[in-house]
């Protein structure tokens, strides 16, 4: 086949370093950018095959999100804007690790297994973040796509969720929106403006929000969007990439893990601030009080705010729709208690990674999913959207109900249902706070977080740790879970778990307890356990 000759020729320009093994992890491949050229070429090939198989447009996003600037990565996006399926993640790993001389064999194997018609047309949408390595890596993806005769539309610099959105728009023939940046901004911002019309007399202070762009793509895109907001939201943008380094001492991951404000942001006491991560698919909020104390409103608080708002609207509308919140093991224990006991919503726990949360959320009429790190969105089933639309179009309902139905419709429109989206989440949160006339302090007071601590431990091979029960229990190495259980028993209201990261070469440790001292001590003791039982490298973890 002509295509295979071309693949063979082109792949020799993007050779795989012999012996290098990489896994398609929590969010695609991620490592130092210097090791990724062959991966990009091969993901160009795989995206083209996936497109031929599904007869739909597939997305390829070049980003390493929250990782440091010198890393990069790639994620594949399926036709409805969701993460690629697990079977194809497996193919991605096989293709990535095939030694140079075996590449065609592995490629043909995938074609056979999936019964792909190679002469089928293929379309790929490509996007990249602002990392210095992204430009050349995206050229390599183009080589991969064209080697198999695919067509590629290069969106250039976009946030990860923007590319997910474009793919979904394209494959729904525009029903989800226009597959352009203008289309994205105008859909979200129009919905936001409609929503905030339901808020009375907002002052300039209430319309103001400080945004930490993590020196990444999100900052650029907020700037681009601003004029669509018609001054209904007044953004002070910090860490916009003109000076600082990507994700360095700033951004959602830094703020969440360090539990402190980012550098480079002017924070006035009591004012709402938020941080995006490096590819703008995560968001966390925070403020400092008059005593200078930092208050974080993470993904759990965001899920609570959104699900409370939606539940209230459903009751007012008289709509009987099943709403659930999906979390991971990182969810603060207080949030789970509040959601289950006070709000009486169904709560599900899945493994880390939005693909897992997304699938669990799809089982409900309305699925609100958020990781504690601020990655999340809301999914509405087709049936739920139809019921809401029927209500909005029903001429026999009261003005009050009509208003609620419109609120629900605009809420659906402001949300990017394809994936967690910092820009869309920010607009939704700002709209909810405005409509409810709620301050960030009132939002924060819905429940009090249990003090918690996250740590990282380096080990020689993090795959020695295997987990079960949505990553809440370790099944290997032997003795690890028993030790964690006995450590947890020493503290009140305590919980702890460990899991290998799927984006960084570390083991993550999470602990929560009644006091910060206890959470810190427990996290340290569990870190030592990991270090001793799972082959720690470097110095032993020190106490905090």
Binding residues: 65, 277, 279, 281, 371-373, 499-503, 508
Where are any strands of DSSP class E within 234-356? Answer: 234-238, 273-276, 283-288, 294-297, 323-328, 346-350
Minimum CB distance to ligand G16, residue 159 (Å): 11
Minimum CB distance to ligand G16, residue 457 (Å): 13
Q: Do residues 61 and 15 make contact, with C-beta atoms less than 8 angstroms apart?
A: no
Minimum CB distance to ligand G16, residue 331 (Å): 12
Q: Which is closer to ligand G16, CB of 351 or CB of 495?
A: 351
Question: Applying CB under 6 A, which part among 461-469, 487-495, 498-506, 518-526 lies near ligand G16?
Answer: 498-506
Q: Is 508 in the site for ligand G16 (CB under 6 A)?
A: yes
Minimum CB distance to ligand G16, residue 27 (Å): 4
> Is residue 157 helix, strand or coil?
strand
H/E run at residue 133: none
Q: Which is closer to ligand G16, CB of 148 or CB of 457?
A: 457
Q: Give the one residue of 14, 375, 495, 524 binding ligand G16; rule: CB under 6 A.
A: 375
Q: Is 282 in the site for ligand G16 (CB under 6 A)?
A: yes
Residue that is written with structure tokens 């602002």 in the block? 130
How far apart CA 371 and CA 361 sit, in angstroms, is 12
Binding residues for substrate: 371-373, 499-503, 508
Q: Is 129 in the site for ligand G16 (CB under 6 A)?
A: no
Runs of H (alpha helix) within 415-494: 422-436, 440-444, 480-488
Q: Which is closer to ligand G16, CB of 67 or CB of 140?
A: 67
Minimum CB distance to ligand G16, residue 371 (Å): 5
Question: Applying CB under 6 A, which part among 131-139, 163-171, 178-186, 367-375 lies near ligand G16?
Answer: 367-375
- Dihedral sign for Cα atoms in the order 324, 330, 335, 340: positive
Q: Which is closer to ligand G16, CB of 259 or CB of 373?
A: 373
Q: Is 277 in the site for ligand G16 (CB under 6 A)?
A: yes
Phi, psi of 133 (to 5 degrees): -80, -10
Runs of H (alpha helix) within 197-344: 217-225, 251-258, 299-317, 333-337
- Which of 535, 501, 425 is CA-nearest to residue 67? 501
Q: Do residues 147 and 7 make contact, with C-beta atoms less than 8 angstroms apart?
A: yes
Question: Applying CB under 6 A, which part among 124-132, 150-158, 368-376, 488-496 lies near ligand G16?
Answer: 368-376
* x-marked contacts with ligand G16 along 331-360 as a string, rule CB under 6 A: ---------------------xxx------
Where are any strands of DSSP class E within 429-537? Answer: 452-457, 466-468, 473-476, 495-500, 507-512
- 47 to 106, contacts with ligand G16 by CB under 6 A? 65-66
For strands 323-328 and 346-350, give the pairing: parallel
Minimum CB distance to ligand G16, residue 304 (Å): 18
Q: Is 503 in the site for ligand G16 (CB under 6 A)?
A: yes
Binding residues for Mg(2+): 65, 277, 279, 281
How far apart CA 154 and CA 158 sit, in angstroms, is 10
Q: Is 377 in the site for ligand G16 (CB under 6 A)?
A: no
64: Cβ contacts below 8 Å, ≥ 6 apart:
30, 33, 71, 72, 73, 129, 131, 278, 503
Q: In what order do the strands lie in the sheet with 346-350?
A: 346-350, 323-328, 366-370, 376-380
For strands 71-77 and 57-62, give the pairing: antiparallel
Q: Is 31 in the site for ligand G16 (CB under 6 A)?
A: no
Question: What is the size of the binding site for ligand G16 (CB under 6 A)?
Answer: 18
Q: Is 410 in the site for ligand G16 (CB under 6 A)?
A: no
Q: Which is closer to ligand G16, CB of 467 or CB of 481?
A: 467
Q: Which of 11, 51, 65, 424 is catalytic?
A: 65
H/E run at residue 76: strand 71-77
Q: Which is closer to ligand G16, CB of 275 or CB of 352?
A: 352
Region for residue 497 given its phi and psi (left: phi exceeds 0; alpha: psi -120 to 50; beta: otherwise): beta
Q: Which is closer to ligand G16, CB of 185 or CB of 276?
A: 276
How far apart CA 467 and CA 501 sit, in angstroms, is 12
Q: Is 527 in the site for ligand G16 (CB under 6 A)?
A: no
Question: Applying CB under 6 A, which part among 31-39, 257-265, 370-378, 464-472 lies near ligand G16?
Answer: 370-378
Active site residue 65: yes
Q: Give the one residue of 149, 183, 502, 535 binding ligand G16; rule: CB under 6 A.
A: 502
> Is residue 308 helix, strand or coil?
helix
Which residues are marked as active site?
A: 65
Residue ranges that bind ligand G16, judged by CB under 6 A: 26-27, 65-66, 277, 281-282, 352-354, 371, 373, 375, 501-504, 508
């Amino acid at each position: 086949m002509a295509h295979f000759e071309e693949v063979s020729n082109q792949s020799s320009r993007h050779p795989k370093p012999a012996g290098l093994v990489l896994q398609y992890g929590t969010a695609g491949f991620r490592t130092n950018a210097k090791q990724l050229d062959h991966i990009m070429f091969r993901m160009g090939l795989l995206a083209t095959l996936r497109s031929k198989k599904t007869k739909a447009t597939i997305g390829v996003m070049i980003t390493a999100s929250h990782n440091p600037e010198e890393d990069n990565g790639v994620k594949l996006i399926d036709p409805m804007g969701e993460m690629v399926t697990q079977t194809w993640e497996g193919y991605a790993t096989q293709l990535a690790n095939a030694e140079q001389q075996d590449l065609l064999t592995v490629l043909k194997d995938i074609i056979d297994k999936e019964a792909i018609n190679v002469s089928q047309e293929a379309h790929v949408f490509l996007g990249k973040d602002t990392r210095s390595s992204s430009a050349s890596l995206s050229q390599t993806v183009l080589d991969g796509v064209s080697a198999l005769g695919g067509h590629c539309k290069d969106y250039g610099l976009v946030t990860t969720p923007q590319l997910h959105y474009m793919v979904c728009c394209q494959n729904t023939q525009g029903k989800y929106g226009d597959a352009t940046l203008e289309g994205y901004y105008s859909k979200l911002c129009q919905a936001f403006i409609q929503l905030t019309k339901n808020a009375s007399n907002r002052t300039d202070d209430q319309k103001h929000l400080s945004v930490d762009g993590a020196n990444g793509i999100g900052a650029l895109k907020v700037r681009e969007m601003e004029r669509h907001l018609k001054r209904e939201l007044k953004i002070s943008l910090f860490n916009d990439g003109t000076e600082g380094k990507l994700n360095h001492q700033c951004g959602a991951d830094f703020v969440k893990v360090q539990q402190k404000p980012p550098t480079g942001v002017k924070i006035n006491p009591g004012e709402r601030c938020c941080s995006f991560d490096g590819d703008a698919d995560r968001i966390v909020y925070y403020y400092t009080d008059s005593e200078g104390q930092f208050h974080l409103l993470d993904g759990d608080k965001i899920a609570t705010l959104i699900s409370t708002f939606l539940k209230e609207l459903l009751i007012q509308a008289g709509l009987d729709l099943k709403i659930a919140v999906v979390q991971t093991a990182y969810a603060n224990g207080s949030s789970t208690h509040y959601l289950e006991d006070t709000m009486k919503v169904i709560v599900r726990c899945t493994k880390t990674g939005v693909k897992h949360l997304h699938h669990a959320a799809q089982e409900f009429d309305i699925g609100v999913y958020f990781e504690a790190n601020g990655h999340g969105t809301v999914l509405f089933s087709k049936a739920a959207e139809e019921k809401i639309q029927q209500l909005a179009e029903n001429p026999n309902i009261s003005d009050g109900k009509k208003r609620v139905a419109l609120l629900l419709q605009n809420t659906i429109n402001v949300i990017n249902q394809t994936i967690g989206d910092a820009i869309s989440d920010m607009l939704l949160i700002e709209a909810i706070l405005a409509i409810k006339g709620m301050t960030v302090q009132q939002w924060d007071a819905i429940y009090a977080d249990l003090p918690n601590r996250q740590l990282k431990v380096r080990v020689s091979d993090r795959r020695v740790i295997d987990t079960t029960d949505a990553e809440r229990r370790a099944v290997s190495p032997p003795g690890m879970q028993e030790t964690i259980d006995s450590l947890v028993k020493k503290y009140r209201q305590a919980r702890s778990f460990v899991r290998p990261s799927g984006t960084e070469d570390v083991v993550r440790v999470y602990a929560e307890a009644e006091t910060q001292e206890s959470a810190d001590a427990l996290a340290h003791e569990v870190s030592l356990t990991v270090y001793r039982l799972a082959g720690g490298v470097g110095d032993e973890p020190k106490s905090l």
